[in-house]
């Protein structure tokens, strides 16, 4: 699993920071969380083909989080994208997207679907993982997202070889957690496999501290949270319905997350040492994201 930060700025980009965008790559999936202006260029710089994107998660419809969508989809079309882009977002996303494409003459369109998330909880599931959402507090409908990898079983080869179980369907059944019968005896999956706990990545977009964010973040291996301001500008953070770095760190602490990555920084911060120090007062394992930073989880 690789997480690539394509944009880490707030409302106004800087020469070093693009508008928001985070790509989570897992097996054949490339899930883009938010799509700020210029994301297609950021992908090119990062050496990632736009045609690889399989899903787009939209946290909310403020311009800095969505203005890259038309250009990205046109680039995907020009790259002969053969899949169907699955788009998930808050209520109103279908109409917003329709109006966006009505505003100009588009070429190279791709096949896509839009699902509006109407309630907190699971909104997508497949064999390997599920996606969850929670409502945040930002003045307009806003969502946070979690990628939750399912637990998987690893065969204890020493045990299965000792029993003489050959490679093939029987090992597959054990790996799926099903007991089998071998040479007339029952073989339990719990005795022949070990459980590998699935990983969890949570993305908290623009929001004040709220229960939705805290509940979604619980037990995350990697918690990615906005931190537009340091605590010295707490009043401004509250005015614009954003979190301070310290508030994001408190959320990480209370949610028992393992690692915190801060992003979505106000353009007033030329460098992020003040923000990082603000967070480290209450949570040790924290880092400030930068454009093109990658995390292997």
- The 3-state secondary structure of the chain reads CEEEEEECECCCCCCCCCCCEEEEEECCEEEEECCCCCHHHHHHHHCCCHHHCCEEECCCCCHHHHCCHHHHHHHHHHCCCCCCEEEEEECCHHHHHHHHHHCCCCCCCCCEEEEEECCCEEEEECCCEEEEEEECCCCCCCEEEEEEECCEEEECHHHHHHHCCCCCHHHHHHHCCCCEEECCEEECHHHHEEEECCCEEEEECCCCCCHHHHHHHCCCCEEEEECCECHHHHHHHHHCCCCEHHHHHHHHHHCCCCCEEEECECCCCCCCHHHHHHHHCCCCCEEECCCCCEEEC
Catalytic residue among 64, 206, 278, 291, which? 64
What's the CA gap between 154 and 114, in Å, rounded?
36
278 a catalytic residue: no
Residues designated as active site: 64
């Amino acid at each position: 699993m690789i997480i690539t930060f394509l944009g880490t700025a707030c409302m106004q980009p800087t020469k070093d920071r693009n508008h928001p965008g985070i790509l989570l790559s897992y097996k054949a999936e490339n899930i883009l969380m938010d799509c700020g202006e210029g994301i297609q260029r950021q992908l090119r710089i990062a050496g990632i083909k736009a045609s690889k994107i399989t899903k787009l998660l939209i946290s909310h419809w403020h311009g800095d989080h969505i203005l890259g969508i038309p250009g990205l989809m046109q680039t995907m079309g020009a790259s002969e994208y053969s899949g169907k882009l699955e788009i998930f977002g808050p209520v109103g996303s279908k109409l917003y997207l329709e109006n966006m494409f009505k505003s100009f003459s588009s070429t190279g369109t791709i096949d896509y679907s839009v699902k509006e998330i109407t309630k907190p909880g699971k909104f997508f599931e497949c064999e390997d993982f599920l996606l969850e959402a929670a409502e945040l507090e930002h003045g307009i409908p806003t969502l946070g997202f979690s990628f939750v990898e399912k637990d998987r079983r690893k065969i204890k080869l020493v045990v299965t070889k000792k029993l003489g179980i050959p490679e093939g369907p029987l090992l597959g059944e054990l790996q799926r957690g099903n007991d089998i019968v071998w040479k007339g005896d029952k073989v339990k999956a719990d005795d022949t496999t070990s459980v590998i706990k699935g990983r969890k990545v949570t993305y908290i977009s623009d929001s004040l501290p709220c229960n939705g964010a805290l509940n979604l973040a619980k037990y995350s291996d990697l918690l990615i949270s906005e931190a537009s301001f340091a605590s010295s500008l707490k009043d401004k953070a509250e005015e614009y319905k954003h979190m301070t770095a310290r508030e994001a760190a408190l959320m990480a602490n209370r949610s028992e997350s393992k690692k915190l990555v801060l992003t979505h920084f106000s353009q007033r911060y030329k460098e992020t040492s003040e923000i990082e120090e603000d967070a480290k007062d209450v949570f040790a394992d924290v880092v400030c994201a930068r454009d093109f930073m990658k995390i292997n989880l």
